[in-house]
Copies of this chain bind each other. A is one copy, B any other.
Amino acid sequence: MLTVINQFLSASELAHFRQTLDGANWQDGARSAGQLAAPLKTNLQLDDSSAAARSLATNLSAKLSQHPLFISAALPDKIYPPKFNCYQNDGHYGQHIDSAIMRCADGSSLRSDLSATLFLSQAQDYEGGELCVEIGGCLQEIKLDAGDMILYPANCLHEVKPVPKGQRLAAFFWVQSLIRSHQQRQQLFELDQSIQALTIKLGSDDEEVRRLSALYHNLLREWAYA
């Protein structure tokens, strides 16, 4: 399941991100790819230990932890500190699968259940750069506007197409979800939406609203950390 969160960043937040990235210290992205993926990758990445990277990552993490739609869709347990990359001059990242276990700078690890890309450049400002995700045997091409975010299952083959003109800036990170199974997480997301819709139609003290709410919490209890 792909989840698009439009306008995750407000216009002013976006401006702040762009300003901070200007003149930041970019490095060869292949340095952070695994052995198999490195030859596929020709992009730039921000030095994670730079002040710019750390400030934006902290900012973004804080925003994620309070965003109701992100929380309901991702049910995050751990979030990898966001990283920032830049594709230009035909930069691209060939088809690959992300590693299952990601080691964070602080020595802890997480399982990458979901991958996320937050677009920081306007779609019209560069050519190419589509994120192509193969999901359920169907190839999805994703190119969002600046400030929009996409969540996709990390077990999917995906690639970023070459950017022959302009510059594609983005943040990316992984989520270890409370719920490993994409189907179960999707079922909880839809059940949550049904409960909200029924609460509006029938009121929060309707018997079915209460019963479905108990179902939501008990399914979450059965499935979390499994």
Contact = CB atoms under 8 A, between A and B. Distances in A.
A100 B188 CA distance: 13
A81 to B, nearest CB: 15
30 contacts: A1-B137, A2-B136, A39-B205, A97-B214, A100-B217, A100-B221, A100-B224, A111-B221, A112-B221, A113-B221, A135-B137, A135-B138, A136-B136, A136-B138, A136-B153, A155-B183, A155-B221, A157-B214, A180-B222, A180-B225, A183-B222, A187-B215, A187-B219, A190-B211, A191-B212, A191-B215, A194-B212, A197-B208, A198-B198, A198-B208
Given A212-B194, A212-B212, A100 B140 contact: no
Nearest to A65: B107
B221 A1 contact: no
B100 A218 contact: yes
A20 interface: no
Contacts of A1: 136-137
A178 interface: yes
